[in-house]
Amino acid sequence: MDAPAALFDTPLARRRLARAGRLGYPGFLLDRLAEDLDDRLGTVLRDFVSVLDLATPLPVATRMLAARYPASRHLRLAALSEPGGGLIVGDLEVLPLAPGSVDLAVSLLALHAVNDLPGTLIQLRRALRPDGLFLGCLLGGATLTELRQSFAQAESEVEGGISPRVAPFVAVREAGGLLQRAGFALPVADTDTLTVRYADPFGLMRDLRAMGMTNVLTERRRTPLRRATLLRTAEIYAERFSDPDGRVRATFEVLWLSGWVPHETQQKPLRPGSAKVRLADALGTVELKPEKGSMP
């Protein structure tokens, strides 16, 4: 069977990321997420021999890991070469990592632009040692909902149809299943919604361009965006998504994922029927039994 068509144009995404580096990548989102990552790792009471930053667009996670685990061996996989030791230049969909070579892998805002996310997670699980941990975040389904809605309405009004402008993102209800499918144990998925405010929608668009987060969909429209459509998009955005002070909101839904490589020391669920204490006794309540002849 033929492989499914790629959702993202990976070479274009790499060129956009290189351009973002030249423009001066605005790292406010990554800085906030690196702090959140540090807090989450603070609840994991163990050290790791080998730690990996998996393609975070800037080395903010690498610096945080170096401060938290100074005695560990540190690696960073990136799409582009950059200064610094421990760097591996590689593709997220073909991970250049030996099986069982890493104890901890983290990733910030990289995995949402992978064509085969289940495949990448499977490769990552193989690269982790037994009882190794993956902890990372990607953009979730509500990200840039304001921009998506504004573009759709503007294109419909001005051009009589719509084209894909914002990538489809993973929903939280799907995330735990992806981790289980990849073979991770104890999977956890949760979301955090960040709202960034701008003076106008063009400020958001400039930041997205400077972060390399513009449209890299394979099925994107190839003709230039009409000026009339862009201006109408900005009008709709300001009308529908502005605060009383006139500033506009932009939503970034951050989907956090964590999972462990299976190991015999990990907690396991009890077999059904193996409980030795009744739930009613544990809760200190009285169990009400149905009367004879009543419906269950």
Q: What is the mean pLDDT of residues 213-240?
A: 87
Please check whether residue 106 is in contact with residue 66, taking contact to mean a CB–CB distance below 8 angstroms.
no
Whether the pLDDT of residue 18 is over 60: the answer is yes
DSSP secondary structure letter of residue 287: P
Query: Which two three-digit tokens encode residue 282?
Result: 């544990």
Q: What is the mean pLDDT of residues 159-184?
A: 80
Beta bridge partners of 185: 260
Please check whether residue 137 is in contact with residue 39, taking contact to mean a CB–CB distance below 8 angstroms.
no
Q: Where are the alpha helices (DSSP H) in the chain?
A: 10-23, 28-41, 60-68, 117-127, 145-159, 172-181, 201-210, 227-240, 279-283
Q: Which helix (DSSP H) or strand (DSSP E) does residue 137 occupy? A: strand 128-139
| Predicted local distance difference test score (pLDDT) of residue 85 | 67
Q: How far apart are CA 46 and CA 16, in angstroms?
A: 38
Q: What is the mean pLDDT of residues 39-59?
A: 94
| Predicted local distance difference test score (pLDDT) of residue 280 | 61
Topology at the third CATH level for domain 10-141+167-200+250-283? Rossmann fold (3.40.50)
Per-residue pLDDT tens digits for 65-95: 999 999 999 999 998 888 776 788 888 999 9
Q: What angle do CA 121, 163, 167 make, to 5 degrees?
A: 20
| Predicted local distance difference test score (pLDDT) of residue 135 | 97
| Predicted local distance difference test score (pLDDT) of residue 171 | 74
Per-residue pLDDT tens digits for 172-211: 778 888 899 999 999 999 999 999 999 999 999 999 999 9
Q: How far apart are CA 220 and CA 216, in angstroms?
A: 7
Within 10 A of 34 (CB to CB), how many other CB atoms are there?
22
Whether the pLDDT of residue 219 is over 80: the answer is no
Over the chain, what is the mean pLDDT? 87
Please check whether residue 218 is in contact with residue 5, taking contact to mean a CB–CB distance below 8 angstroms.
yes
Residue 239's contacts (CB-CB under 8 Å, 6 or more residues apart) are: none
Per-residue pLDDT tens digits for 242-286: 999 999 999 999 999 999 999 777 666 556 665 566 656 666 666
Q: How far apart are CA 72 and CA 129, in angstroms?
A: 15
Q: What is the mean pLDDT of residues 34-56?
A: 95
Report CA dihedral (105, 10, 30, 38) to the nearest 10 degrees.
Answer: -10
| Predicted local distance difference test score (pLDDT) of residue 26 | 92
pTM, two decimals, is 0.83
Please check whether residue 210 is in contact with residue 26, taking contact to mean a CB–CB distance below 8 angstroms.
yes
**pLDDT confidence tier of residue 132, bands split at 50, 70 and 90:** very high
Percent residues over pLDDT 70 in the chain: 86
Within 10 A of 255 (CB to CB), how many other CB atoms are there?
24
Residue 285's contacts (CB-CB under 8 Å, 6 or more residues apart) are: none
Q: How far apart are CA 25 and CA 36, in angstroms?
A: 20
Whether the pLDDT of residue 1 is over 50: the answer is no
| Predicted local distance difference test score (pLDDT) of residue 124 | 96
The Cα-based distances of 90 to 14, 107, 126, 210, 288 in angstroms read 11, 14, 17, 22, 61
